[in-house]
Structure 1
Amino acid sequence: MSNGDANYGQSRLVTGDAVVLDLHPAGFASRMVAIFLDVTVQFVSLIAATVVVLRVSEGVDLALTAAIQLLLTVLILVGYPVAFETFTRGRSLGKLAMGLRVVGRDGSPVRFRQALARALTGVVEIWLASGVIALISSLLNREGRRVGDFLAGTVVVQERTGRRPGTLVEMPPAMAGWARNAELSRLPAETATMAHQYLTRYTELNEQTRYEMGVRLADTVTRYVAPPPPPQASPPEYLAAVLAERRRREEARLAQQRENRA
């Protein structure tokens, strides 16, 4: 690993409440390779699209041909990254190859508007400026964020290859019945990680931060989990129930796999 990658790897994402998230910002070298791969795919696509348009537009009005070419260019330069990052939760072909992912600054999955902001800015800082703006921006901050990341509130992280041991979150007895019937399959791993770190650092936070972060995380989790939690459940109890049940189901799935192989 290069020194640049090492320095970036030592960084951690920190929320506005000074809570450290176990997400490693991507190293400079791996991020540049991912950008190069994506740009190569887009450049080849542009050439192919141009050749096709020129061949099928013989005898067609030049204005119409130019409009079609412009539309294809926008789709390739903007539509490609937006579609990939939105539907693959922050990945593109280059990022897939390098094991990277775009996430929100709080570790949440990247959203359409964030992917769009990154793509539109990328046209300027990567294409029109030949990558110079993106390069300088990435070198000037420890998280390697380009201008598009600052505008979108995102960061490119190195996806973890394995689960690290940590404190297990226990099921609140009053929530066990609700949790067993809850639909948890849509919960993103990044959101679950944030909730786990909030619960394991709960006693280290002041009362106001506990409340504000708990409410915010619970609101985020409810977007992916159904049915809603019981009215009497506090945010920490709700988050603990979701994580404990999620772990129980995963352990049951793995146990079933081992039994089937036996």
Structure 2
Amino acid sequence: MGHTIRVGDLVTGEAVVLDLRVAQLASRAVAFAFDVAVQFGLLVLVFVLAPVDIDGALQSALAISILILVMIGYPTAVETATRGRSLGKLVMGLRVVRDDGGAIRFRHALVRALGGFIVDFWVLGLAGAIALFVSLFSPQGKRVGDYLAGTVVIHTRVPKREVELATMPPQLAEWASGLDLSQLPEELVLAVRQYLSRHDELSAQTQWDLGVRLSDDVAAAVRSPRHEYTAPRAYLSAVLAERRRRAAG
């Protein structure tokens, strides 16, 4: 039977959990408060700039359209464009990913925004009471919108012990210094970190299969394939170590 990999609740076929750090309620609440402040500011700005010399029916229709645009359209557009990071989540080091650990797309962002507006927070949500209740009973801190969209919010800031796992193999240092890392997706970086952190807990076959799969994905992003004589673990470590070196520099 082939191995199945999920990142987030990431479970290999051997039931080894490669757990991404699910965001806690407190950090999500702060990120949400920041996003609400931004949306409120946008609403005020738009209403101030909106024309006032129009009849009542048209004014009501315009007000509803603006409300939908800011409360649903804005978060959908931002999370789609940033692959899961609103301004509040960026501040708190959070990201929305799919249940399988991949980057969200437009439909995921739209369903989350609709679920948040209608159920979790505003229309039916009693100013967040439903979102709070559902999140408290969810092992992954999901609100209704996350369940509907098949998403989960995770931390992107990695603990020191995980960062230190990505060490530079001396024989790959020169090669890594010439890599173009600008197209390396954050969610793939997170999956590689998890692989490196749990490498020694996996069987030899899973180490190889998962390592090759991740190496192929990384190679496509950095446009530099793994040499057949280079182990996947060394290849992935070199890429992440070089990425950390540039970020520090």
TM-score normalised according to structure 1 size: 0.69
Q: 1:13 to 1:208 in 2, by over 3 A?
A: same
Runs (5+) with no aligned partner, structure 2: 1-6
- 1:252 is displaced (CA, Å) by 6.9
User: Which of 112, 117, 120 is 2:111 aligned to?
Assistant: 117
Shift of 1:191: 1.9
Partner AA of 1:83 in structure 2: A
Give, in angstroms, the shift of residue 124 of structure 1.
1.3
**Paired residue for 2:87, among 81, 87, 93?**
93
Counterparts of 1:252 and 1:96, CA distance in 2:
20
Aligned match for 1:74, one of 68, 75, 98: 68
Amino acid at match of 1:128: V
Kindly state the Cα deviation for residue 144 of structure 1 after the two structures are TM-superposed.
1.0
Taking a change above 3 Å as real, the CA distance of residues 253 and 195 of structure 1, as seen in their structure-2 partners, is closer
Are the aligned partners of 1:102 and 1:110 in contact in 2 as well (CA < 8 Å)? yes
Does residue 15 (structure 1) correspond to residue 10 (structure 2)? The answer is yes
Q: Which residue of 2 aligns with 1:4?
A: none
Instruction: Work out whether residues 83 and 96 of structure 2, in 8 Å CA contact, stay in contact via their aligned partners in 1.
Output: yes
Backbone CA RMSD of aligned residues: 3.7
For residue 224 of structure 1, give the secondary structure of its aligned residue in structure 2.
helix
Taking the aligned partners of 1:171 and 1:160, their CA distance within structure 2 comes to 24
**Residue in structure 2 matching 1:134, options 131, 136, 139:** 131
Question: Counterpart of 1:114 in 2: which secondary structure?
Answer: helix
2-structure distance, mates of 1:101, 1:250: 19
The amino acid of 1:45's aligned partner reads L
Q: CA 1:104–1:240 in structure 2 vs 1: closer, same or farther (change >3 Å)?
A: farther
Note the alpha carbon deviations across 1:189-234, whole angstroms, 9 max, x for none: 442232233245345334664566345534543553224x26x749
Equivalent residue letter for 1:16: V
SS of residue matched to 1:102: strand
Q: Which amino acid aligns with 1:25?
A: V
Q: 2:182 aligns with which of 176, 182, 185?
A: 185
Identity value in percent: 43
Tell me if structure 1 keeps the 8 A contact 2:166–2:196. no
* Structure 1 gap ranges (5+): 1-11, 258-262
Q: Distance between the aligned counterparts of 2:195 and 2:202, measured in 1?
A: 9
Q: What does the per-residue CA deviation read over 1:225-245, in whole Å, with 9 as the maximum and x for residues that have no partner?
A: 224x26x749x8456424304
Name the TM-score, length of structure 2 as normaliser: 0.72
Tell me, in whole angstroms, the C-alpha distance in 1 between the residues paired with 2:193 and 2:35. Answer: 33
1:180 & 1:99 partners in 2: Cα distance?
Answer: 27
